[in-house]
Structure 1
Amino acid sequence: MTDGRAPVIAVLGSINMDLVTTTDRRPQPGETVLGSGFAMVPGGKGANQAIAVGRSGGQVEFIGAVGGDVFADGLRAVLRDSEVGTARLRSVDGPSGIAAIVVDADGENSIIVVGGANAALTELDDDDLAVIASVDILLCQLEIPVPTVAAAARHARANGTIVVLNPSPARELPPELWADVDVAVVNSGEFTALGAALDPVPHVVVTLGGDGARYRGPDGQELSVPGTAVEVVDTTGAGDTFTGALAVSWDRGPAEALRFACAAGALATTRLGASASIPHRAEINAALGDAHPAP
């Protein structure tokens, strides 16, 4: 990826329809509160990250699954409209994935995810594996079955594809999966929860919300990048935006990649919804003041 071309990235992961409710404050257990708005916005960590890759300037192919319900066509359309390749997006029986999201007046959210079709992504076919072997980076999360993620990472490693894992939702993973990961992207809570499990990973990036991000390299080198000041509307999808932008800019080195990703993640908090809030490359460059940026 050092020849000046846009990186080619395969994203293996989830795609959901996000059902977003806005309210002054999130309810306590057993409490009913009045909402001020409702929207249906395509999301899912995998789809969000794929859209972020495309809008950040990368070439991207999405490997995932939708159901046979009313949400499926809309989910496909948002990927196509964001120039995400959908040749490996399969249809399965049953419902598509959904996420019920409550966003309060401070832009903080609570999320319940129902996997639906994402849970049916239990194996990779020859065409999926061919895509993974041919790209620069494989980007994965954990909203699909872990054995599928592990198989993809193993195949990527065997074919010289860089593996970037966003291990969210955080959980115990097999050591052989960690051994195939080149870059782990976690938030501060996930970093604490995963602890020593991250030790074998050469590159670890920790997102810190409005405070930016920090990096630990294979030789113990560390660096931090401050956040970009914005007026926060909704934090949904900000971490996914960061991760997709990081993957696109990874070949520029950790400092520049974190700088680009922090700006992208911050901009994603200025609009409501996940996929709808993901900024384009021109917006990110403008926020950074880059007149002639890479990639």
Structure 2
Amino acid sequence: MPQPRVAVVGSANMDLVGTTPALPRPGETVLGSDFVMVPGGKGANQAIAAVRAGASGVFLGAIGSDAFGVTLKARITAAGVDTGQLRVVYGSSGVALVMVNAAGENAILVLPGANDAFTGLTEGELRAVREADVLVAQLEVPVETVTEAAVAARAAGTRVVLNAAPARPLPAELLAAVDLLVVNETEARALTGRGRDEPEALLDLVPRAVLTLGAEGARYVDRDGISAHVPAVKVDTVDSTAAGDAFTAALAVAWGEGRGLVDAVHWAAAAGAACARRLGASVALPRRVEIDELYAPPA
């Protein structure tokens, strides 16, 4: 298959990840066990995941002038992602405090830092968007930046995949530029007021959508009348923190390779499952061979 070019516009954080038998309740202190410090942020995760899944990837975002920023750029670059357009702004990098329990469930506090300063795309950043086969974006950076990138992509014929997370209202200009929307049930409700039983409500906003359902898999719908349920791939879950990012990135890569979208969702489900088997976002993001090992094509 041809190697697709994927541009990712989004956040970069340093993830401070600790494991504990049970997540603490308000006012409670619990003892944990393992600790890892790994690059994260939905944007950086999806850029690394896209490259590991087989794409040529460029990451557009902002890091701080602190030690975390130095480490973030080094790790993202080492993963094979083009960071030539990555901005460095004065101040702190984004940080995520992640707690993971014995079942692989998590609680996350994100402190945006430099991500909030990622505004007003440069000509070099816009060129990277225009030259890509697929643009992938999320909502951990200012929505105005995501909108600017999506509009530029649409004008250039670049496909736009929006992972609308975290949930927030979306401007009409952004929705008009989106080719494929990826949301979980919480995000779908925020956008449409409807849940898992009515994924078609998303088609009032965009031409194609994937509704992820955790252990129940995912649902693909489009305006051509195609609707397909894709079951989850069963694995022993260790940490689900970046599984959604692996899913979205693999979906974009498969679509960029020319696969049909139902098949692409099946491959993305395998990527999400492969990611959930290890602790730590960027460490867990799977390589193509790991995705293929779990992939089951649609019947």
TM-score (norm 2): 0.93
Aligned to 2:288: 281
Out of 232, 257, 261, the position equivalent to 1:227 is: 232
* CA RMSD between the two structures: 1.3
Q: Is the 8 A contact 2:267 2:296 kept in 1?
A: no
Question: CA offset at residue 289 of structure 1?
Answer: 6.8
Give the equivalent residue in structure 1 for 2:179. 182
Any runs of at least 4 consecutive aligned residues in structure 1 with deviations exceeding 6 A, and if so which? Answer: none
Mapped pair 1:140 → 2:137:
yes
Mapped contact 1:22–1:35 kept (Cα < 8 A): yes
* Alignment CA distance shift 1:15-1:198 (3 Å): farther
Greater mean alpha carbon deviation, residues 235-244 or residues 248-257: 248-257
Unaligned runs of 5+ in 2: 193-200
Specify the code of the residue in structure 2 equivalent to 1:170: A
Aligned residue pairs, count: 287
Q: Which of the numbers 151, 156, 159 marks the counterpart of 2:153? A: 156
1:256 counterpart = 2:263 = yes
Query: Do the aligned partners of residues 74 and 105 (structure 1) sit closer, same or farther apart at CA in structure 2, a change above 3 Å counting?
Result: same
AA at the equivalent of 1:218:
R
**1:189 counterpart letter in structure 2:** T
Q: Deviations over 1:225-261 (max 9, x none)?
A: 1111100001010000000000000120112101110
The alpha carbon displacement at 1:173 in A equals: 1.1
Closer/same/farther in 2, CA of residues 289 and 184 from structure 1, 3 Å limit: closer
The answer as to whether partners of 1:138 and 1:156 remain within 8 angstroms in 2 is yes
**Counterparts of 2:64 and 2:128, CA distance in 1:** 22
One-letter code aligned to 1:272:
L
Give the aligned partner of residue 117 of structure 1.
114
Partner of 1:241: 246
Deviations along 1:151-199, whole A, 9 cap, x unmatched? 1111111111111100101111111111110000111221122115652
2:21 equivalent among 14, 20, 24: 24
1:212 aligns with 2:217: yes
Q: Does 1:13 align with 2:18?
A: no
Correspondence 1:75 to 2:72: yes
TM-score under structure 1 normalisation? 0.95
Q: Give the distance between the partners of 2:284 and 2:185, measured in 1 at CA.
A: 22
Partner of 1:93: 90
AA matched with 2:252: A
SS in 2 for 1:257: helix
The residue type paired with residue 30 of structure 2 is: V
Contact 1:188 1:207 in 2 (8 A): yes
Report the alpha carbon displacement of residue 54 of structure 1 after superposing the two structures with TM.
Answer: 0.3
* 2:264 corresponds to 1:271: no
* C-alpha contact (below 8 Å) 1:210/1:266 kept by paired residues: no
Q: Matched residues, percent identical?
A: 53
Structure 1 residues 198, 102: closer, same or farther in 2, change over 3 A? Answer: farther
Secondary structure in 1 matching 2:248? helix
Please tell me whether the aligned partners of residues 178 and 198 of structure 1 are also in contact (alpha carbons under 8 angstroms). no
SS of the counterpart of 2:67?
Answer: coil
The 3-state SS of whatever aligns with 2:236 is coil
**Matched residue of 2:120: which SS?**
coil
Q: Secondary structure of the equivalent of 1:231?
A: coil
Q: Deviations over 1:139-161 (max 9, x none)?
A: 10000011011111111111111
The amino acid of 1:202's aligned partner reads P
Letter of the 1:244 counterpart: A
